[in-house]
Amino acid sequence: MDVSPPAALIERYTLPEMGKLWSEQAKFQSWLNVEIAATEANCRLGRVPAEALATIKAKASFSVDRILEIEAEVRHDVIAFLTNVNEHVGDAGRHIHVGMTSSDVLDTGLALQLRDSVRLLRRELDALAEAIRVLARAHKDTMMIGRSHAIHGEPISFGFKLAGWLAEVERNRTRLERLEADIAVGQISGAMGTYANTDPQIEAITCEILGLTPDTASTQVISRDRHADYVQTLALVGAALERFSTEIRNLQRSDVLEVEENFAKGQKGSSAMPHKRNPIRSERIGGLARVLRSYTVAALENCALWHERDISHSSVERMMLPDCSATLHFMLREMTAVVQGLGVYPANMARNMNVYGGVVFSQRVLLALVEAGMSREQAYRIVQRHAHSAWNTEGGNFKANLEADPEVTALLPGAQLNACFATELHQANLNVIWERLSI
């Protein structure tokens, strides 16, 4: 049985589970599942003999190679598929595809593949959430500098940074749960979607058998806003992974080196420079996120079909939907591996945070001076002067500058000034976040 991924998928970025789901074998199997379910629905309503249904269930089969051989002649994939299936079931085949049109098979079968893809993605997202949660728990109190505009701001903890990641992953979990229901929609409504040659009950029973919901009002196809939603949701999940991977890349820079991707035994970073340890997996994730985003334009353009249907969307989806699914699946697995193997360097975090003698505690000093009676304008001017002096001087020391200023020490003697430089102040109210995320 051929379960290799279709040519549209790049094997380098396709994991076996998702590749199997989007193989030609799996696609035609989904079609066969739809046809058998529709035949069973007709049988339940007394329109197909039970003996014929039994024969179809027992003998219905197909060969990918044979379907392609027939398609080369008839130039129609569904007809080629049905022709091959009928070669296996004999006279009972006249009860297959009754009152149906090609899109009933194509779109309903595609819904099965998309639903199952979301289930695989949810499994990988859950694994990533757990990996981030474990790392966050371990580093709730690992202090580091927070940055805005890439410039040192105030102390945070690495666990706090990871909490932001976890919160986004949890939002994406909700999005995928919703998407699984929204994309699991089928149709057995016939040409133009008017049920002229079938019965809405056939659609209802078929979808029930398949675990789908009947589309509210299909034309001859299921409207492509659902599929655009699928692609956009996957792209949004990919954007989160890009955010995480970009942060890792920035924190791994040689002049920062607060975290580092795992560097495997025997791994090499450069053909020319033996010292290199590059964040290649994070870079790969960021690059693949661009691919996901690029598909959103095609998915949105697929929404505008002519009248009740055309097939301009078909060629796009043959590439887009398998590729989006496989790409995000790979990215999630890759991101989980990065998080699980991440090197964290608290000593470097402390070093970076305390550069220039604690200049990052300037707000605490400002607030303390105001509380002690100084006007905010004067306090800001004094604190900014000492902070910039420390920042612009080699070996500058913000705290030492303050201690040498009588205007400051008159209001903040010894212990009071020292208290402004306590990192515990930046952790005191974070319990609410740990509780929200079960960290």
| pLDDT number for residue 301 | 95
- Mean pLDDT on 210-239: 96
Do 369 and 316 sit in the same domain of this protein?
A: no
- Nearest in space to 324 (alpha carbons), one of 286, 291, 287: 291
> Into how many domains does the chain fold?
2
Do 282 and 402 sit in the same domain of this protein?
A: no
Residue that terminates a domain, selected from 316, 348, 380: 348
Task: For residue 390, give its domain range.
Answer: 354-437
Structural domain contains residue 174:
yes
Residue 7 has pLDDT above 70, yes or no: no
Structural domain contains residue 50:
no
**CB of 115 within 8 A of CB of 184?**
yes
Q: What's CA 421's distance to the chain center, in Å?
A: 39
- Nearest in space to 328 (alpha carbons), one of 298, 358, 299, 291: 291
Please give the share of the chain, as a percent, with pLDDT higher than 90: 86
Structural domain contains residue 66:
no
pLDDT digits over 56-106, tens only? 999 999 999 999 999 999 999 999 999 999 999 999 999 999 999 999 999
**CB of 113 within 8 A of CB of 180?**
no
Catalytic residue from among 61, 76, 270, 312: 270
- Mean pLDDT on 151-175: 96
Q: What are phi and psi of 320, to 5 degrees?
A: -65, -50
Catalytic residue from among 149, 254, 275, 315: 149
In the chain, the N- to C-terminal Cα span, in Å, equals: 45
| pLDDT number for residue 251 | 97
pLDDT digits over 344-399, tens only? 999 999 999 998 989 999 999 999 999 999 999 999 999 999 999 998 888 899 99
Split at pLDDT 50, 70, 90, the class of 177 is very high
Do 337 and 380 sit in the same domain of this protein?
A: no
Do 244 and 144 sit in the same domain of this protein?
A: yes
CATH code assigned at 401: 1.10.40.30
Lookup: tokens for 407: 């205007």
Do 108 and 152 sit in the same domain of this protein?
A: yes
Do 192 and 341 sit in the same domain of this protein?
A: yes
Structural domain contains residue 73:
no
Structural domain contains residue 5:
no
Residue that terminates a domain, selected from 311, 329, 348: 348
Please tell me which residue, 36 or 426, carries the higher pLDDT value: 36
Beta-strand relationship, 213-214 and 185-186: parallel
pLDDT digits over 271-291, tens only? 566 766 888 899 999 999 999
Structural domain contains residue 267:
yes
Residue 27 has pLDDT above 60, yes or no: yes
Please give the share of the chain, as a percent, with pLDDT higher than 70: 95
Residue 293 has pLDDT above 90, yes or no: yes
Do 383 and 329 sit in the same domain of this protein?
A: no
| pLDDT number for residue 272 | 60
Do 343 and 359 sit in the same domain of this protein?
A: no
| pLDDT number for residue 282 | 94
To the query of whether residue 270 is one of the catalytic residues in this protein, the response is: yes
How much is the pTM? 0.92
Do 159 and 207 sit in the same domain of this protein?
A: yes
- Mean pLDDT on 331-349: 97
| pLDDT number for residue 404 | 94
To the query of whether residue 149 is one of the catalytic residues in this protein, the response is: yes
| pLDDT number for residue 417 | 94
Query: Residues 6 or more apart from 159 whose CB is under 8 A from it?
Result: 135, 136, 137, 138, 139, 140, 141, 142, 439
- Mean pLDDT on 183-198: 94
- Mean pLDDT on 207-215: 97
Structural domain contains residue 3:
no
Please tell me which residue, 268 or 430, carries the higher pLDDT value: 430
- Nearest in space to 303 (alpha carbons), one of 379, 223, 377: 223
Do 185 and 215 sit in the same domain of this protein?
A: yes
CATH code assigned at 256: 1.20.200.10
Do 166 and 288 sit in the same domain of this protein?
A: yes
Residue 108 has pLDDT above 90, yes or no: yes
| pLDDT number for residue 276 | 66
| pLDDT number for residue 65 | 96
| pLDDT number for residue 266 | 65
pLDDT digits over 228-268, tens only? 999 999 999 999 999 999 999 999 999 999 999 987 666 65
Residue that terminates a domain, selected from 309, 332, 348: 348
Q: What are phi and psi of 436, to 5 degrees?
A: -60, -35
Please tell me which residue, 414 or 378, carries the higher pLDDT value: 378
Structural domain contains residue 290:
yes
Residue 176 has pLDDT above 70, yes or no: yes
Do 201 and 179 sit in the same domain of this protein?
A: yes
